[in-house]
Amino acid sequence: MHPTDATTTLTLTRPDDWHLHVRDGDVLGTVVPHTAAQFARAIIMPNLKPPVTTVEQAQAYAGRIRAVLPPGSDFTPLMTLYLTDRLDPAEIRRAGATRAATHQAPIVAAKLYPAGATTNSDAGVTDIRRIYPVLEAMQREGLLLLVHGEVTSPDIDLFDREAVFIEEQLIPLRRDFPELRIVMEHITTREAAHYVRDAGPHTAATITAHHLLFNRNAIFTGGIRPHYYCLPVLKRETHRLALVEAATSGNPRFFLGTDSAPHPAHLKEHASGCAGCYTAHAALEMYAQAFDAAGALDKLEGFASFHGADFYGLPRNSGTRTLQRMDWQTPTQFPFGAAELKPLQGGETLPWKLLPA
C-alpha cells in the first residue's frame, strides 16, 4: 500500500505505546481508557511517588491499571521498575520471571532516571557506576534498559543536556554492556537521532508526537505556553527535522512512545510549572499528522505497530485500527481527580481521526 496526499483512510496493525505515564489513584480512570482506546499495550513508567522499585509494587500497580479498563478491553500494561542506587540485582531476577507468556503484567524493562532530571526523579541514580551489578543482571535476564538521557548538572545548558549525556554517559555504558538492549527514551535532538541510528542492533529510541510536530517556538508563541513544556524540552527546528527523518526512515530502531504525561492543569499553569504534555487521547492522530506532513504515511505502521514489539522481543499485535482524514476538534479538558487535565492542543482542529475499534 502506498498512501498518498489523497489517502483518506489509513489502516494499521494495532499499535503500542512504548513510553507512557498514567500516574495512580483516581486519575487512572481518566487516562488509562484513553490509551486503551488507541493501543494494545503500553510501557508504563514507574515514576510514581514513591517510585515503583519492586516486583510486588509493579504487579499491584498493574492490577490498579487493569481495574479501570473499559469492559471487554484486552489492553496489556507492560510494567517497568525504577532504578535507584540501592536496587538489589535479585529484584531484577524476580522481574525476569514475570515474563512468562501467560503473565497478565509482565515486567519487561527498568528505567534509568538520572537523579533530579525530571518529574519524580529524586530517587533516581546518582552515578551509573553504582548500578553496574543491576545492569549486569538486566543484560543476563534480557530486561531492557530505558534511559532518560539528560545530564542534570546546572552548569550544562538545558538545551545541551541530551547531547552531553550521550557523550559522557551513554557511549561508555553502551561499551560496557554490549548485549544490553537500551532504549533512549523521547529523543529530542539530531545528536540523539544520529547516535541511535549508528549505535548498532541493541540501541533504539522512542520519539513522541509532540517532538515530531513542534519546535521550541511553540513554548513561547504569543506568551508562555506551559502545556508545551516537557522534558527533555522541545528543541529548535533543525532537531525536529532530524527526528522526523529518523521516525519516517523505516529504521526499525525508532518507534512510537508518546511520553503522554498528565499533570493537573493548575500545576502546569503555575509559577514553577510541571514538565509533561498530555497526548494520550489523540496520540495516533498526532503521529498521523506528523507522518502525513512528511509525506510518509506508508512508514507509520512500522513505527507504530512493528518496530517496538520487535525490539522488545514481543509478538506483534493482531487486528487493525483505522484512521480517517477528517477535521475534528479536540476536547479542551478532562476530569483529573478533583482537578482538570488540559491536553496538548486542546480545542484545536486535528486533520486525522482514529475510528472506534
Residue in the shown chain whose Cβ atom is closest to Zn ion: 259
Cβ atoms of 256 and 304 within 8 Å: the answer is yes
Identity of the residue numbered 175? R
CA separation for the pair 318, 15 (Å, rounded) = 9
CA angle 12, 303, 79 (to 5 degrees): 95
Number of residues engaging Zn ion in binding (CB under 5 A): 1
CB of 13 to Zn ion, least distance (A): 24
**From 150, 259, 292, 301, residue interacting with Zn ion (rule: CB under 5 A):** 259
Using CB under 5 A as the binding rule, whether residue 16 contacts Zn ion is answered as no
Q: Could you tell me the smallest distance in angstroms from the CB atom of residue 301 to ligand DOR?
A: 27
Report what 112 binds from ligand DOR, Zn ion, none; CB cut-off 5-8 Å by kind.
none
Q: In whole angstroms, how close is the CB of 21 to ligand DOR at the nearest point? A: 5
Spatial contact of 196 and 187, defined as CB atoms under 8 Å apart: yes
3 state SS of 331: coil
Give the torsion sign (CA, 131, 92, 166, 173): positive
Report the partner that residue 119 touches, choosing among ligand DOR, Zn ion, none (CB closer than 5 to 8 A by kind).
ligand DOR
Which residues in this chain contact ligand DOR in the complex, by CB under 6 A? 21, 47, 118-119, 148, 230-231, 261, 275-276
Name the binder of 148 from Zn ion, ligand DOR, none, CB < 5-8 A by kind.
ligand DOR
Tell me whether residue 44 or residue 173 sits nearer to ligand DOR (CB atom).
44
* Measured CA distances, 12 to 18, 304, 355 (Å): 16, 8, 12
The secondary structure element, H or E, covering residue 34 is helix 28-38
User: How far apart are CB 41 and ligand DOR at their closest, in Å?
Assistant: 19
Helix H, strand E, coil C: the string for 291-304 is HHHCCCHHHHHHHH
Of 111 and 299, which has the nearer Cβ to ligand DOR? 111
Binding-site partner at residue 234 among Zn ion, ligand DOR, none, CB < 5 to 8 Å by type = none
Rounded to the nearest whole angstrom, what is the least distance from the CB of residue 207 to Zn ion in the complex?
12
Residue 181 interaction partner, one of Zn ion, ligand DOR, none, beta carbon < 5-8 Å per kind:
none
Beta strands in 193-348 (DSSP E): 203-207, 254-256, 320-329, 334-336, 339-341
Residue 231 binds: one of Zn ion, ligand DOR, none (C-beta under 5 to 8 A by kind): ligand DOR
Per-residue CA distances from 334 to 46, 82, 292 (Å): 23, 28, 28
Residue 62 in contact with residue 104, Cβ under 8 Å? yes
For residues 14 and 211, which CB has a smaller minimum distance to Zn ion in the complex? 211
Report strand pairing: 203-207 vs 9-13. unpaired
Nearest residue (CB) to ligand DOR, 51 versus 302: 51
Q: Rank residues 12 and 83 by Cβ distance to Zn ion and give the closer one.
A: 83
Measured from the CB atom, the residue of 229 and 255 that comes closer to ligand DOR is 229
Smallest distance, ligand DOR to C-beta of residue 319, A: 30
Query: Shortest gap between Cβ of 231 and ligand DOR (angstroms)?
Result: 4
Residues numbered 199 to 228 that lie near Zn ion (CB under 5 A) are: none
Q: Which residues of 11-25 are buried (b: 16+ CB within 10 A; e: fewer)?
A: ebbbbbbbbbbbbee
Residues annotated as part of the active site: 259
- Residue labelled with grid coordinates 514538565: 275
Q: Please identify, using beta-carbon distances, which residue of 119 and 324 lies nearer to ligand DOR.
A: 119
* Partner from ligand DOR, Zn ion, none binding residue 276, C-beta < 5-8 Å depending on class: ligand DOR
The helices-and-strands tally (H runs, E runs) of the chain is 13, 13
The residue ranges that bind Zn ion (CB under 5 A) are: 259
